[in-house]
C-alpha cells in the first residue's frame, strides 16, 4: 500500500533539482526511509519546536501539494518500518524528496547549534570525558533517547542494537554529523544521493 497511488505534482524547484534515481518501481528503499526519519528525529531532539518549524517550512518550500498537513507528514514519517505504527506503506521518490527538503531546511536553521554540539563532543572525546559532561549535549542526547524509545518498535530486530543508552548516544551523535552534512553547499543533493548508496541500479 502506498501513501499515494501516484506521484504528486509539485512546483517546488527544490524537488526538481534532486535527481530521479533508478530504483525499483520508483519507491524509496527501506534503508533510505529509515535514514530520513532518523535525521528528522535527531533534529526534533535539537529543537522542542521542530515539529511546528517543519510545518511552517512546507509552504515556504512549496511542498503543500506533497505534504498538505500535519497528519500527512506523520503518515510519511511512518513509512519507516522500524516505527511503532508503521503500516508497511511505501514512500514514493517525490515524497522522500519532500522529507529531505524539510530536513535540510531544519538542519540549516540549526547549523550553529549542531556545530557547537559536535565541537563540544570532539573536545570531550579528546579529554576522555562523557558527552553528558556538557549540558546542551546531554540534553540533546536525553531527548533523542526519549524520542527514539517512544516512537520505535522495540520488537523489531534492528532496534535491538539500540537497547543501551550508549548505543543510542552513538546513533544520536552520528546523526548530528549527518545533519551538519545537510547544511553545506549542495548539502541537500549530497544527502539525497547518500540515501541510495548501493541501491541504485546500474
Q: How many CB atoms neighbour CB 134 within 10 A?
A: 19
Query: Higher model confidence: residue 26 or residue 143?
Result: 143
Cell 524509496 identifies what position? 28
Burial tier of 86 (Cβ tally within 10 Å: 0-12, 13-18, 19+): middle
What digits encode the pLDDT tens for the residues 139-169?
A: 999 999 999 999 999 999 999 999 999 999 9
Max distance between CA atoms of the chain, in angstroms, equals 53
Statement: residue 10 has pLDDT above 90: no
Sign of CA dihedral 133, 44, 51, 85: negative
Average pLDDT score over the chain: 88
Structural domain spans, the chain: 24-194
pLDDT at residue number 11: 55
Amino acid at each position: 500500500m502506498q501513501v499515494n497511488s501516484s506521484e504528486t505534482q509539485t512546483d517546488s524547484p527544490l524537488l526538481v533539482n534532486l535527481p530521479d534515481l533508478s530504483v525499483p518501481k520508483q519507491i524509496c528503499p527501506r534503508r533510505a526511509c529509515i535514514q530520513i526519519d532518523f535525521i528528522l528525529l535527531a533534529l526534533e531532539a535539537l529543537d522542542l519546536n521542530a515539529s511546528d518549524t517543519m510545518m511552517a517550512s512546507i509552504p515556504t518550500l512549496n511542498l503543500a501539494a506533497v505534504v498538505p498537513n500535519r497528519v500527512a507528514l506523520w503518515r510519511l514519517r511512518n513509512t519507516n518500518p522500524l516505527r511503532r505504527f508503521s503500516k508497511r506503506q511505501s514512500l514514493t521518490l517525490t515524497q522522500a524528496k519532500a522529507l529531505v527538503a524539510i530536513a535540510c531546511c531544519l538542519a540549516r536553521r540549526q547549523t550553529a547549534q549542531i556545530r557547537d554540539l559536535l565541537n563540544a563532543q570532539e573536545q570531550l572525546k579528546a579529554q576522555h570525558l562523557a558527552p553528558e559532561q556538557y549540558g546542551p549535549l546531554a540534553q540533546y542526547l536525553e531527548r533523542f533517547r526519549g524520542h527514539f524509545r517512544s516512537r520505535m518498535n522495540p520488537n523489531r530486530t534492528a532496534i535491538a542494537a539500540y537497547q543501551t543508552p550508549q548505543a543510542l548516544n552513538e546513533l544520536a551523535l552520528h546523526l548530528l554529523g549527518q545533519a551538519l552534512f545537510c547544511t553545506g553547499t549542495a548539502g541537500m543533493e549530497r544527502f539525497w544521493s547518500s540515501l541510495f548508496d548501493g541501491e541504485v541500479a546500474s
